[in-house]
Structure 1
Amino acid sequence: MGPDVVSPETLTEVTRDLFMWAEAFLASLLRPWNAYQLLIALAVFLSAHVLAAVFKPRMYDWMRGLEGWPKWRMRALVVVQRRLRMVLFVSLIWLVVGLMRELTWPSRSYLLAIIANLSTAWLFIAFATRLIKNALLRGIVRYGAWIWVTLSITGLSDEAQSLLDSAAITVGETRLSLWLVIQAIVILAALLTGARLISSTTAATIRRNEDISPSMQVLAIKFLQVLLFGAAFFLGLRLVGFDLTGLAVLSGAIGVGLGFGLQKVVSNLVSGIIILLDKSIKPGDVISLGDTFGWINSLGARYVSVVTRDGKEYLIPNEDLITGQVVNWSHSNEFVRLDIYFGTAYSDDPHKVREIAIDAAKSVDRVLSFKAPVCHIVGFGDSSVDYILRFWIRDPTGGLTNIRGNVYLALWDAFHEHGISIPFPQREVKLLEGSQLATKGLSD
């Protein structure tokens, strides 16, 4: 890689043309009518400044009273209010140009027309670049566009392009000039901004469509984003004349890197696509994975965000959800059956215990009545008759531990009311005939 050979004659010629234009422009300002036009433009600017100082606060108060307007309209009004002086200046300068063309020779409004064209182009660029969210990129595009339209309107675009194109380096067979870099930045910024606008608008439309499941909405939005941004990137490279055949070697190198060093990343990406396609989990589902129990907050390209009831957010790799055993409490339906175990004394009637337990479970709010609770004996323990109480809920998002606790509390109250005892382990010690209980040291 080395600098491209540029003839000194070319640089000298371009530089001479720029100085000659600057000298001619400064000389033209000394002409009487050009000086008058500059004074008229200054008077128009001062008028716009005074009018903006008067109307800006009133416009602000009017905007504060607006209700029910869409956000994009309010944002547009904010942009106009902040640049009200420039808007007024453009309107007044064109009015003055129109009047002077009717009242005097066109040459006597030539400089005013240039100022009107420049101010109009600058105002349009200021409004258009507001669509770019990145502040650094917005500044580069805005000032670059201002410089370029200024050179174009003043007739210096060819000289400036020649000067920028002369500053170049060669990379193999590719010639990379400063002019090409500027073109690439502007074109790519415009295309990527357009892709972002189309993507955000389409994503909002997809999210409002209730016929599409949440998982398919996420898949469609991500596919659309990859397609739009990829197309904008490659189209921008083609428009600036970049040879895309060289990307074949780069893609091969990337493939080798993926095969060796990025296996987990690729596995998570593929697993994420599979999850979206088979709809095994979706935002809002309640899942259990190992010791983690929570709600699916979002599906990412590499991980799934799970929020637990204590506010912790777990970022679980997609691969773990594909290869591991996941309990989805709300996959096919919202109904969930819960089991709790308890025991009562042998002296209590088991028929009565079962009835009391079922009635106690029914008294809890979240327990479903049309899926009636059931209670069964599951064994005879050392100190109690063991039971299982099964009941159904339909809102696992409301929590499982709390509903179990409420049912246990209802059982406690019901057993206490009906005299049902909950035993605890007891041991009986017997001394065989002829044995002695050693008490040595106990009385000391």
Structure 2
Amino acid sequence: TRGWRDPLLRRPRRAGNGCRAWALFDLYSAALNILGLLEGTIAALNDAAFSFGNVAISALTIIQEIVALGVLLWITAVAGNLIESSIRSSPNLSPSIQVLATKLLRIGLAGFAFLIALTVVGIDVTAFAVFGGAIGVGLGFGLQKIFANLVSGFILLMDKSIKPGDVIAVTDYYGRVDSLGARYVSVSTRDGIEHLIPNEELTTNRVENWSHSQNLLRIRKKVGIHYKSDVRRAIALCLEATSEVPRVLKDPKPVCQLQDFGDSSVDLEMRFWIDDPMNGRANVISEVLLRVWDKFAENGIEIPYPQRDVHLRSSSLEGQTLADLGADVVAGSTLSD
């Protein structure tokens, strides 16, 4: 760490270098003025010119541009340092996003200072605007998706709709947001699979964020019991089972309601809350169902399986046995062959 220095410690040195350069320029100008050579020097520098299209650029213009650009770059550097400090102190931005934001900020401020310096010395920037517009159109068509993901990433950072640590559901899977990148969002599922989702997809499609404003998540699970079972007793046992699971919250309290009279069972629905969805849903659902199974078995509550009753009605076939019907079917198939 001997050669490492904090950028904050380097800023006073940069400011000192700029002040020394400005003082040296003032010293030379004052010396030329005292000797009576200032006006002649200015005229000579103004005569040493060349043409760039319709724009005449002299040595004096170049010196004025350098001075104006130096002053503006110093001002933008001070402003950039202040903004960079606020970006690096933000706890919601990952280190990669902080570096990207500071780089884009400094590039934008430097470009802005360059354009202002050209305007100050009287150079028409229309030609540069047309040239820059042509480059922008070309880059826009060639890098359309990349720029779309980049802009979407900044939108996600600004509105904070998705943050590191959030649990989100996208299409058929859900997972925990590990990091926000310039082009994609890293989401890890419970299977250990890391999905790199483009930022544009998260801003244009529907996304479920289970921990955006709070970590509370309600889980709903249906259980069917036999029609001969005691429904009220089964509801009480379901509530006991959910209350015994540590991850299930006591407030809001769990509920169990009669949902429907199904074809083969009386359908109950358990509803309970957890406040740690990042730890998974399937494991807490499994623990609740295991306790329900044990309590149903201990109290004689039967869980049915689908059944169908078939009733045969006959008129002209009355009196014939199944064996006779089978023989008639076989004989009919033989005659048809």
TM-score, L = length of structure 2 = 0.63
Q: 1:429 to 1:309 in 2, by over 3 A?
A: same
Amino acid at match of 1:315: L
Displacement after TM superposition at 1:364 (Å): 0.9
Displacement after TM superposition at 1:373 (Å): 0.7
Contact 2:94–2:180, Cα closer than 8 Å, also in 1:
no
Displacement after TM superposition at 1:206 (Å): 3.4
Q: 1:202 to 1:259 in 2, by over 3 A?
A: closer
Q: Counterparts in 2 of 1:221-300, with a 5 A limit?
A: 222-231=100-109, 248-300=129-181
Contact 2:253–2:272, Cα closer than 8 Å, also in 1:
yes
Q: Counterparts in 2 of 1:107-126, with a 5 A limit?
A: none
Corresponding residue for residue 403 of structure 1:
284
Q: Counterparts in 2 of 1:4-403, with a 5 A limit?
A: 75-76=1-2, 205-207=89-91, 214=92, 222-231=100-109, 248-403=129-284
Inter-partner Cα distance in structure 1 for 2:304 and 2:109: 72
> In structure 2, the residue corresponding to 1:224 is in which secondary structure?
helix
> In structure 1, the residue corresponding to 2:305 is in which secondary structure?
coil
Corresponding residue for residue 152 of structure 1:
none
Displacement after TM superposition at 1:409 (Å): 1.2
Corresponding residue for residue 66 of structure 1:
none
Displacement after TM superposition at 1:419 (Å): 1.2
Amino acid at match of 1:362: S
Inter-partner Cα distance in structure 2 for 1:231 and 1:299: 25
Gaps of 5+ in 1: 1-74, 80-126, 132-171, 175-190, 208-213
Corresponding residue for residue 413 of structure 1:
294
Inter-partner Cα distance in structure 2 for 1:335 and 1:354: 24
Amino acid at match of 1:206: S
1:167-226 CA distance string (max 9 Å, x none) = xxxxx899xxxxxxxxxxxxxxxx9xxxx999997765433xxxxxx2699877643332
Aligned identity (percent) is: 44
Displacement after TM superposition at 1:348 (Å): 0.8
Contact 1:258–1:266, Cα closer than 8 Å, also in 2:
no
Displacement after TM superposition at 1:287 (Å): 0.3
Q: 1:226 to 1:436 in 2, by over 3 A?
A: farther
Inter-partner Cα distance in structure 2 for 1:410 and 1:262: 55
Amino acid at match of 1:225: K
> In structure 2, the residue corresponding to 1:206 is in which secondary structure?
coil
> In structure 2, the residue corresponding to 1:331 is in which secondary structure?
coil
Displacement after TM superposition at 1:427 (Å): 2.2
Query: Which structure carries more relative contact order (alpha carbon 8 Å, separation 6+)?
Result: 2
Inter-partner Cα distance in structure 1 for 2:294 and 2:108: 65
Displacement after TM superposition at 1:377 (Å): 1.1
Corresponding residue for residue 180 of structure 1:
none
Q: 1:244 to 1:275 in 2, by over 3 A?
A: farther
Displacement after TM superposition at 1:380 (Å): 0.8
Displacement after TM superposition at 1:386 (Å): 0.5
Contact 1:219–1:276, Cα closer than 8 Å, also in 2:
no
> In structure 2, the residue corresponding to 1:311 is in which secondary structure?
coil
1:40-85 CA distance string (max 9 Å, x none) = xxxxxxxxxxxxxxxxxxxxxxxxxxxxxxxxxxx22xx6xxxxxx
Displacement after TM superposition at 1:366 (Å): 0.6
Calculate the aligned-residue CA RMSD, in Å. 4.2
Contact 2:84–2:102, Cα closer than 8 Å, also in 1:
no
> In structure 1, the residue corresponding to 2:238 is in which secondary structure?
helix
